[in-house]
Amino acid sequence: MEKPFEYDKSRQPANSAFKQQKLPGHYLRLTATAVLSIFFTTGLFCLCVGIILILSAKSTKKIEGNVYMYYKLYGFYQNLYRYVLSRSNAQLMSKNIMDVHGCDPFKMSEDKIPFIPCGAIANSMFNDTIILSYNLHSSEHIQVPMLKYGLTWWTDKYVKFQNPVSSNLADQFEGSAKPPSWSVPIYELDRDDPGNNGFLNEDFIVWMRTAAFPTFKKLYRRLSREHYFKEGLPAGNYSFNISYNFPVTRFQGEKSVVLSTLTWSGGDSLFLGLVYTVTGALTWLSAFAIMAVYLMLKNRKENLSL
């Protein structure tokens, strides 16, 4: 004979309004006037902010404060799954610099010598040289002083990327090969500054942080505020001297250089202003559409009641 089921009353919730879900509910009931007021107010706010941002971006005569130089690529897909995985974190952190596991298709040379750094991301590193000059006079051109450090995230510089502990990087990387698209090995990325060489090279670290979209910009240099440039970039004529090393025609892309600074709204760009303006315009159009439907239904209701 089966034993009858016994209910364990110790696990029964207390007989309170909260635990028995008997608390009174609140239903938000908005009138048509309230809804239209919210839409019109939101739209007006977005339009005002958008117009201010656009005018602010258009009226820049000189770039004051900290100035940043970016390179911008169009149509370069760093978000491809196989591309993102094609790297060796153990190698980049110097836990095992000969570890090329997961670096397909750039693991080893034809002579079976491991690439350092290995992987598709490292092999495709941006390597143009960009020099900005300020045309002080028609006959005098001053090279704008730019800093090549302070470009990376702290966690990247001091956690995710580490050089082998050695006074001579070339000895540590002996027995390896440079990536096929590189002109110099990893230990010669910056011959002038040993602290910016090897895996700790900031241009390399910036490139290794992959972008989410096919059009992106990455920080290349930041202004050294000295001499003529203590307050930023003065108004005037500037010229670029660019060593074209990074090909974009093979993937039908484009590239450009962007100079920007930080303002009260973040980076100086038309994009944010356009987003606010379009959002405000669409909000107002939605408000007019809602008002038209409301008036139509209201008139129909009044006619039926007659």
Q: Each residue of 160-186: pLDDT tens digit?
A: 999 998 878 899 999 999 999 999 999
Average pLDDT over the chain, rounded to an integer? 89
Average the pLDDT over 183-203 and give the result: 93
- Which backbone phi and psi does 102 adopt, to 5 degrees? 85, 10
* β partners of residue 129: 243
pLDDT confidence of residue 7: 63
Report domain extents, the chain: 33-52+268-301, 80-210+236-255
Q: Give the whole-angstrom CA distance, residue 215 versus residue 75.
A: 6
Residue 259 in tokens = 């100079």
Please tell me the least confidently modeled range out of 81-85, 166-170, 183-187, 217-221.
166-170
Residue percentage of the chain with pLDDT more than 70: 93
pTM of the model as a whole: 0.73
The closest of 241, 242, 244 to 135, measured between CA atoms, is 241
β-strand 67-74 against 216-223: which pairing, if any?
A: antiparallel
Average the pLDDT over 53-71 and give the result: 82
Higher pLDDT, 52 or 6: 52
Confidence of residue 303 (pLDDT cuts 50, 70, 90): confident
Peptide bond into 214 cis (omega under 30): no
Whether residue 87 has pLDDT greater than 90: yes
The closest of 64, 71, 177, 81 to 121, measured between CA atoms, is 81
Secondary structure letter of residue 177 according to DSSP: B
